[in-house]
Amino acid sequence: MKTVFCILLSLLAGVSASLAKEPTPQGTQLVLLGTAGGPSTKINRSQPASAVVVNGDIYVVDAGDGVARQLTLAGYSVADVRAVFITHNHSDHMADYGTLLLRSWMTGRRDEIHTFGPAPLTDITRAYLDYMRWDIDVRVSDEGRVPLGDLIRVHDIESDGVIYADENIKVTVFTVRHGAAKPAYGYRFDTADKHIVFSGDTSPNDNVVKAAEGADLLVHEVVNPAAIDALVQRVSPGNDALKRHILNNHTTTGEVGEIATRAGVKTLVLSHFGGAGEPGFDRAAVWEKAVRKNYSGALIVGEDLMIIE
């Protein structure tokens, strides 16, 4: 009987161990949630979004369509998002900004969340809360939730410099150029063990080089000029204005390599692919070969749900 009892105790201990919460990962992780470029839908890539995860806390950069779902698929809880940083107000970078806040709230959030981006982010946030007012009010009264609007702290960015800091991270914003999308920003995240820079959507810009000097990771948008004709033909045949916008307001493969080389970054991470998904331009080798003409350092060709430790 004693033997049976010991076996039962061992089995119960095993069950308890298997049900125990995984320990919170320490240090910094970069998570690529969506790596597509542009607002059209793609089969193999989601709209732009990334996350910096520090000691289990999540800081989201851009919030394209499906960002909450992508964060969950990557193994994280949207309830753990502490702040959201929007680079510019094109819809592919913020289509699910409001939904991310709502899903975070519905997944258990009871503390405040900070959001940053170009004006009119405050107005956009207020409009989304009005849009979802019926659902929010019902859940507050029927489910005992804290009103969502009471938890959101919105910050319209007014100038370059440090905009956020807590025990995990310091975030610095800098202006970039993205055609008619003004203002547009990039971000630098400084943690105890990593310096990560996001270019945002931009044509080649010295502000990116300056912010990324010596960075551990530079996450930079990229366009393959050879793929643009096929892209335009797919989404808007004969639209020369669209072609000019893509080529003039983004950064080509060769230019990305030059920027990373000038900045002396430790690792270049390609994301926001302009032309990925077009025939002949899906393979990572295509992008790597084009960037390698001007860059010889460590290179990661990003994919959705990729976690970079």
**Which of 3-17, 69-83, 98-112 has the least mean pLDDT?**
3-17
Q: In terms of Cα–Cα distance, which of 60, 71, 62, 58 is closest to 37?
A: 62
Residue 5: pLDDT above 90?
Answer: no
Identify which has the larger pLDDT, 114 or 279.
114
pLDDT (tens digit per residue) in 204-246: 999 999 999 999 999 999 999 999 999 999 999 999 999 999 9
pLDDT interval class at 90 (50, 70, 90): very high
Which two structure tokens, joined as six digits, stand for 148?
């969502």
Identify which has the larger pLDDT, 24 or 129.
129
Q: In terms of Cα–Cα distance, which of 246, 241, 211 is closest to 227?
A: 246
Q: Which helix (H) or strand (E) holds 173?
A: strand 170-176
Identify which has the larger pLDDT, 12 or 297.
297
Mean pLDDT of 12-24: 42
Neighbours of 175 (CB within 10 A): 18
Q: What is the pLDDT of residue 23?
A: 56
Ranges of each domain in the chain: 23-308
Residue 56 is classified by DSSP as: T
DSSP per residue over 180-193, as a string? TS-SEEEEEEE-SS
- Distance between CA atoms of 20 and 15, rounded to whole angstroms? 9
pLDDT interval class at 94 (50, 70, 90): very high
Show Cβ contacts of residue 107 under 8 Å, excluding neighbours closer than 6 positions: 77, 78, 79
- Helical packing angle, 253-263 and 284-292, nearest 10°: 60
Q: Please, what is the average pLDDT of the chain?
A: 92
Pick the CATH number of 23-308 from 3.30.420.340, 3.60.15.10, 3.40.50.300, 3.40.47.10: 3.60.15.10
**Percent of the chain whose pLDDT exceeds 90:** 87
Residue 4: pLDDT above 90?
Answer: no
**Percent of the chain whose pLDDT exceeds 70:** 92
